[in-house]
Every structure is written in C-alpha cells, then in structure tokens.
Structure 1
Amino acid sequence: MEKTEKGIKNAFIELRSRKPLERITVKELCAGACINKSTFYAHYRDIYDLSDTMEAEIAESVTNSISHPEYIIENPAAFTQELFLAYQSQSSLTNTVFSGDQSSHLSDRIEESVKKMLFEKYPQHRGDMMLDIVLSYCIQGAYHAFHGNRRYDADERIAVIGRITDSIRPLYEEYYLNN
C-alpha cells in the first residue's frame, strides 16, 4: 500500500513537472505509476484529490520544519527566517506541485498549517482576531514579497521581510495592552 502511494505520488510529480494539473489524466498517471485505474481510484477520487493531498502534505512538511512557531508572537523576524528556510528546504517540490494555476495555493496552505500548529500548541489564542490577522498578514505578505522580488538576494530579502515583520510587533503588543 505504501509502495503504491509512493509510486502514484512520484508519477504525479513527474507529470506535474511537465504539464499543468488540468492536463494530467488518470490514465497517463496510472501508466507512469505502473498501476491500473481501479488502484488509483482506491486511493483518490481524481487527479485534483491527489493534488490536494500532496499540497496538504507539502505544507505540513514545511510547517513541521519550523521549530519555533511561537516566534510569530515572541520574535517575528526569527519566525520569518525559519519560515523561509522551511520554504527553501522544499523548493523543488513546491515549485513543481504549486506551479501554474496552483501557485497561490502554497501560501494559503502554509498559513492554514501554521495557524493549526500554533493554535494546537497555544489553544488560548484560538479565536484571537488580532493574532489571526497578524499571522495572515505576515505569512501571506512575506511569501508574496519574497517571491515577487526574486531579482534581489534571497538572504537580503529574508532580512528585510524579517524587519518588516518585526515592525508589526509593537502594534500587536499595543493592542493587547489596550484590550
């Protein structure tokens, strides 16, 4: 079963590296994975279900490599650096699975995964509007600023984004002092 899953996912990655998601067929994926269609359908509803599963797994892998999710509260610049190191550790896979029309899904998946991890560790912050918005702003903004400014050195981009993220902290702290 695990070998079949791995074969399906490897065939998907290989096809995805060459084609947009909407042009991949179950038939060609099955040929690449050396399985029949019924085996594929025993695991997934369709290609989009497989893609969705892979996106969630990749986002979870990126998030799990963040060793200090609490830094988003305590040390936003350090959190940003950890997040980008995590992105970079998975860059070849994310660039394949999240290419084309799927490119915007990565930041959404990472945001969802980071929030889940943070709120599991700190359930008292669940439903905290300010933290929820700060997390969305930092994760989405940092991701798009990083990828939208590729003409600059990656380490310099991370440092600048870290400083920007850090500048939000006083606003966040002020909010909690006044509420």
Structure 2
Amino acid sequence: MDIRIEKTERAIKNAFLELRSRKPLGKITIKELCSLAAINKSTFYSHYEDIYALSDKMESETIVSVLKNISSQQEEPFKNPDVFTRNLYMALISNNTLINLLFSGTEKARLGDCLETELKRLICEKYPDYKEDPQRDIMLSFCIQGCFHAYLNNQEKDVATLVSVSESIVRKLAPMYLENSTEEN
C-alpha cells in the first residue's frame, strides 16, 4: 500500500476514534472527522462510503485482532476449554481500548454476537463434527457469551480473579459436556 494512503487511513481512523471517544456514532459528521484528520471530504469518500462503513471496518479489524490473539496463544486454541477461556479474556483485554470505543453503548452486545459467530466458524473449521452437534453449539454459545459479558461487566475487577473464576466454571461444565456428547456416540 502506498505510504500516502496508509497515512490517510491512519489519520481517518485516529480522528474517528477521537470523535468516538466523545460522542455516539450517529452524532459524528464527516465534516468534523475530515477537519480533525486534516483531509477533505472527497478523500474520505474515496476510502469509505460513509461513517458507518468506517465504523464497520474498524469493528471487523478489532474482531480479527481478537481472534488472532486467541489463535496465537497456543497451538490448539480450541482444544482445552479453560485455556480457551483464558485466551479469550487475554485477547479481549489486549484490545480493550478499541473495544470500549467502537462497541460502546448499544453496540456492546453486537460485539459478543460477532465474536460468537466468528469463533464458532473457526472452531467448526477445525472440528467439523461440532457443526451439527446442538449440545456443543449451546456450550460454545454459553462459554463465549458468558465470558464476553463477564468481561464487559467486571472490567474494574482484578483480571486474574475474573479469569480464574471463569476457568473454574468452564472446568466444572466440561465433564457434563463430555458426558452428554459421549452418550450420543
């Protein structure tokens, strides 16, 4: 990518994040974003259709970053549920600033849904038998959404305690899950 394009992208994204830290998405105008980024409107529109397209792109990039962080933590990131839980928290925490800016207010639940969808897709790619197993699907939803909401609602608490309690819950659920999936086979 051309260095000028990279600089412009960075300026647009930084201006957007600054504005997003002060106001809801629907209140941000292209005019104020362009002024803050020191670009003109035509430059903005050559990169994005509108402010929502920019927001969507940044949200997608954040989700990809979370997923990469989870995958990079271990060779088999989805094999061990409690390790997966820890890695999910660490990935969320490492993207905490962006998550809190991009997914503030009513957007928070959307992040959880996007993470669940993408994590399930990755897990089913790795373990195709999960795709048609309703018990595994429900367990994954419970673990992903449960961890995500515990993270959102307990950010001010000690991270080690949050992770430890969540890992303990997942470990206690694992035998029930394994027992139910063994009964089916």
TM-score, with structure 1 as normaliser:
0.88
1:65 corresponds to which of 66, 69, 73: 69
* 1:39 maps to 2:43: yes
1:22 aligns with 2:26: yes
Task: Give 1:155's aligned residue.
Answer: 160
Aligned residue in 2 for 1:139: 144
Report deviation, 1:99.
1.5
User: Which residue of structure 1 lines up, in the alignment, with residue 91 of structure 2?
Assistant: 86
RMSD: 2.0
Aligned to 1:113: 118
Q: What stretches of structure 1 of length at least 5 have no aligned partner? A: none
In the TM superposition, structure 1's runs of 4+ consecutive aligned residues that sit over 6 Å from their partners are: none
Q: Which residue pairs with 1:49 in the alignment?
A: 53
1:75–1:166 CA contact under 8 A, matched in 2? no
How far apart in 1 are the matches of 2:132 and 2:15? 40
Q: Which runs of 5+ in 2 are unaligned?
A: none
Match of 2:182 in 1: 177
The answer (yes or no) to whether the contact 1:7–1:33 under 8 Å persists in 2 is yes
Instruction: Go from structure 1 to structure 2 and tell me whether the alpha carbon gap of 1:127 and 1:41 turns closer, same or farther (over 3 Å shift).
Output: farther
CA distance in 2: counterparts of 1:100 and 1:116, whole angstroms: 26
**Does the 8 Å contact 1:76/1:169 carry over to 2?**
yes
- C-alpha distance in structure 1 between counterparts of 2:171 and 2:127, whole Å: 21
In the aligned structure 2, how far is the partner of 1:89 from the partner of 1:120?
25
Residues 13 and 123 (structure 1), Cα distance of their counterparts in 2 relative to 1, 3 Å cut = same
Superposed CA deviations along residues 110-143 of structure 1, whole A, max 9, x for unmatched, are 2222223223333443343222222111011111
Q: Decide whether aligned partners of structure 1 residues 92 and 150 sit closer, same or farther in structure 2, where only a CA change above 3 A counts.
A: closer
Q: How many residues align?
A: 178
